[in-house]
Amino acid sequence: TTEIYTLSLHDALPILLGMISTQKKIAPVAAILLLASIIGFFNYQIMLDFYAEQFVFPKSIRSADYAVITTRDDTFKTSDGVILGADIHKPVGLDKAPTILIRIPFNNTLRNRLRSDIIGRFWAKRGYAVVVQGTRGRYRSNGEFYPAIYEAQDGREALEWLQKQSWFNGQLAMWGGSAFGHTQWAVSGLEGLSPDVHAIQIVSTDYYSTFHPGGAFALESALYWALISPPDADRSTSIEEIKAGANGWPLIEADNRGLQNVKFFDDWVSHQNRDDYWLQIDGINRAQNIDAPILLFAGWFDPFLPTMLRDFKTLISENNNEKAQESRLIIGPYGHAREIEIGGVDVNETYRIASLEPVLRWFDHWLADDPQGASAGPKVKIYVMGENIWRNENEWPLARTVYTPYYLSTSGTLSLSPAAEEMHVFEYSYDPNNPVLTNGGAMLGPRSGMEQQTPPENRSDILWFQSDVLDADMEVTGPISAILHIETDRTNTDFTVKLVDVFADGRAYNITDGIIRQNYNPGIPTEITIELSATSYLFKKGHRIRVDVSSSNFPRFDRNSNTGQNPAYEMNPIVAHQKLFVSQNHRSQIIFPVIPR
C-alpha cells in the first residue's frame, strides 16, 4: 500500500527551498531530502510523515495510532454535471471513522499536494478519515472557477456524497481558511447534513462588508485576489502588477491594467450595495443559525477580522444553539495567512503552525471516543502586540475594558481633556490624483502588516494629533472608533483615520485604521463616526500615540472621485476641500478600549 514517487530536481528544488525560506530550522532536513531527490528515489509518504511529526505539529499532540492509505481517484458528479475530485487519507484498520472534509480552491500542483498530504496524513494517523476535495475549476475538479458562488450548492452535494461512503461513521468536521474556510460557512446549518464541528480561519460570513468596508472598496485586497486567481489557474503576482492595476481610472479596469479581465473582480467592484449577488455568497444569518461549535482563528492585520469578530459575537450571544455558543476565538499577530513584524521586529510566530496546533485537540474534544482529556481551550486567546505575549481571556470585547476618549486639540495634540470653548478649524484639500499612499494595514497580499510610517508633516492633506510622552504602559485591546466633526464642499467624499505608535527614537508604526464614505450636504458641519479595526497593542512608556486624519489610504481603499458618480466607472475626479472642527461643542475624539494593568 506504499506509494513511491520519483521527484526530479526541477520539482524538488522550489519546494524544499520554500521550506527553508519559511522555516529556517528545517534547513538540515530539507538538505537531506534534496540529496535524496538528486540520488533518485525516496519514499514520499515517509518523508511527509516525518516532516509533519517533527516540524509542523507540536510534540504535545497525541501520538499516532494508525498507518494510512491514500487514494486519489474518488470523484462524484454534481447535479449540473461538474466532476469534483478528491484525495482521501484513511486510517488502516478502521472500518468506519469520523471524517474531516477540506474543500480547497487551489491548483493541482506538487507543492499543493505536499501541503494537503502532510496535513491529511497527520490527522489520518490519529483515527480520522480526511477528504481533500477540489472546488470547481481547481485541484482535480472541473467546471468554472469563481470564488464563493458555487460553494453552497456543491458543498451540500459533497455532504450528500459523503453520507454514502462505507467508511464514514456519521461524525463530520470541516477545516480550512480564507476561500476554503468559506466552504464551511456555505454548508452550515443544513438540516441532517451540517458538520458537527468546524475550524475556520481568516474568513467570515460577510464578504460584502470585507470588500466594502465603511462604504469604500478594499481595492488592494480585491485586486491581489484577482491577480493570483484568474480563471484558468492560480499564479503568483508582484507589487509592480498591483501598482499597475491600482493606478488608473476607471476602477473597474484595475484587473485589466494589472493582468487581464477577471469577472469576479468586476462583480465585486460593481455591486456596491448588499444585493442578491452578495446574498449568493454570504447567505442569511449563518452565524446565528449554525448548529455546531466553531474554532475561529484570526489575525490582527487580516481584512476579515472585523467581520469575524461580529460572527463570534453572534455565535456567543445571538445563536440559541448550545454547541454553537461553545465556539472559541484565537487572534494572533498575522496578516492573511502570513506572519508580520511588530515594530520592525520578527516575533517568531509562525502562522501555519499556530493555526494548526489547536485543531486536532478541538476535533478530539467534540468527536473522538478517547480524546485523552482534550479540552476546548480558552474561550478567547489573543496575542498582545507590543508586549508580544499570548493571553487567555473569557470574552470579547474584554469585560474589564475602560473606554477612554482622547480628544483632538486645537494645538494638534491628543488629550484626555476636551478642547477649550474657542472653535478651531483644520483645513486640507483632498486630490484623488495625489492620494495618501498605503503603508501597511489589513490587506490581502505581501504589503499587509505593520510598517514604518513616513512623517505626516510631509503632506498637507494629513492632519495629525499626537499625545504627550506616555509615563506608563497603556494597553489598547478591543474595538476603536473615532468621532469627528467635519465639513466638505462635495456631495460624496471619504474620511480616514489611522492609529500610529511613535517610538521614543522617532520611528512610527501603523496599528490600525478605518474609513467612511457617505453622502454629505456641502457646507454643512456633520458629525461622523469611523470604525477602526480592533486591535490588541501595548503602547510602551516613553512612546507617543498619534492619530492621522485624511481622506485617502490608497490602494488599501479605492480613491473617492468626489463627484458622487458611480465609483466603478468614474474617469474625471475632482478635488474636495475638507474641514475638521475642534471645540468644546465639537468634540472630535478617538475612543480607546483601555485595559487596566
Percent of the chain, pLDDT > 90?
A: 83
**What pLDDT sits at residue 23?**
53
- How far apart CA 456 and CA 500 sit, in angstroms, is 11
**What pLDDT sits at residue 562?**
98
Is 520:492 a contact under the CB 8 Å cutoff? yes
6/357: higher pLDDT: 357
283 DSSP β-pair partners: none
Q: How far is CA 217 from CA 185, 459, 582, in A?
A: 23, 23, 29
**What pLDDT sits at residue 38?**
54
Q: For the segment 304-327, what is each residue's pLDDT rounded down to a tens digit?
A: 999 999 999 999 999 999 999 999
**What pLDDT sits at residue 25?**
52
Does the pLDDT of residue 371 top 90, yes or no?
no
Helices (H), 40-166: 44-51, 110-124, 151-163
**What pLDDT sits at residue 6?**
38
- Give, as one character, the DSSP assignment of residue 208: H
**What pLDDT sits at residue 12?**
53
- How far apart CA 217 and CA 308 sit, in angstroms, is 18
Q: What is the mean pLDDT of the chain?
A: 92
Does the pLDDT of residue 108 top 70, yes or no?
yes
Is 90:165 a contact under the CB 8 Å cutoff? no
Q: Residue 426, SS3?
A: strand
Buried residues in 464-501 as b, exposed as e (16+ CB within 10 A): bbbbeebeeebbbbbbbbbbbbbbbbbebbbbbbbbbb
- How far apart CA 232 and CA 261 sit, in angstroms, is 12
Phi and psi dihedrals of 148, rounded to 5?
75, -20
The dihedral over CA atoms of 99, 105, 107, 111, expressed in degrees to the nearest 10, equals -60
**What pLDDT sits at residue 8?**
42
The candidate with the shortest Cα–Cα distance to 295, out of 324, 328, 337, 319, is 328
- How far apart CA 14 and CA 111 sit, in angstroms, is 9
- Positive or negative torsion for Cα 81, 179, 71, 22: positive
Does the pLDDT of residue 330 top 70, yes or no?
yes
Give the three cell numbers for residue 383. Answer: 496575542
- Give, as one character, the DSSP assignment of residue 232: S
Secondary structure, 3-state, 326-372: HCEEEEECECCCCECEECCEECCCCHHHHHHCCHHHHHHHHHCCCCC
The candidate with the shortest Cα–Cα distance to 84, out of 68, 63, 108, 65, is 108
**What pLDDT sits at residue 364?**
95
Phi and psi dihedrals of 474, rounded to 5?
-135, 115
Give the three cell numbers for residue 319. Answer: 445563536
Helix (H), strand (E) at residue 310: helix 305-317
The candidate with the shortest Cα–Cα distance to 451, out of 509, 396, 390, is 509
| Size of the chain, expressed as the number of residues it contains | 597
- 551 CB contacts (<8 Å, ≥6 apart)? 428, 430, 436, 461, 493, 494, 495, 496, 560, 576, 578
Q: Residue 347, SS3?
A: coil
Q: Cis bond leading into 435, ω under 30°?
A: no
DSSP string computed for 113-126: HHHHHHHHHHHHTT
Q: For the segment 143-174, what is each residue's pLDDT rounded down to a tens digit?
A: 999 999 999 999 999 999 999 999 999 999 99
- Give, as one character, the DSSP assignment of residue 146: -
Is 467:542 a contact under the CB 8 Å cutoff? no
Does the pLDDT of residue 11 top 60, yes or no?
no
Does the pLDDT of residue 35 top 90, yes or no?
no
Pairing type for strands 83-91 and 68-77 reads antiparallel
The pLDDT of 398-409, averaged and rounded, is: 98
Does the pLDDT of residue 431 top 50, yes or no?
yes
Cβ–Cβ contacts within 10 Å for residue 346, how many? Answer: 9
- How far apart CA 563 and CA 581 sit, in angstroms, is 23
Reduced DSSP (H G I as helix, E B as strand, rest coil) percent helix, strand, coil of the chain, to 5: 30, 30, 40
Q: For the segment 178-236, what is each residue's pLDDT rounded down to a tens digit?
A: 999 999 999 998 888 999 999 999 999 999 999 999 999 999 999 999 999 999 999 99
Does the pLDDT of residue 383 top 80, yes or no?
yes
- How far apart CA 404 and CA 592 sit, in angstroms, is 5
- Residue 330's region, left for phi above 0, alpha for psi from -120 to 50, else beta, is beta
Q: For the segment 502-529, what is each residue's pLDDT rounded down to a tens digit?
A: 999 999 999 999 999 999 999 999 999 9
Is 374:365 a contact under the CB 8 Å cutoff? yes
- How far apart CA 513 and CA 218 sit, in angstroms, is 13
Is 198:176 a contact under the CB 8 Å cutoff? no
464/17: higher pLDDT: 464
**What pLDDT sits at residue 48?**
73
Q: For the segment 446-489, what is each residue's pLDDT rounded down to a tens digit?
A: 999 999 999 999 999 999 999 999 999 999 999 999 999 999 99
Give the three cell numbers for residue 246. Answer: 491600482
The pLDDT of 119-130, averaged and rounded, is: 95
Helices (H), 3-109: 9-22, 27-39, 44-51
**What pLDDT sits at residue 5?**
40
Q: How far is CA 469 from CA 197, 378, 413, 535, in A?
A: 48, 35, 11, 21
Please give the distance of CA 394 from its chain centroid, rounded to a whole number.
23
292 DSSP β-pair partners: none
The candidate with the shortest Cα–Cα distance to 449, out of 340, 333, 337, 336, is 340
Give the three cell numbers for residue 414. Answer: 491628543
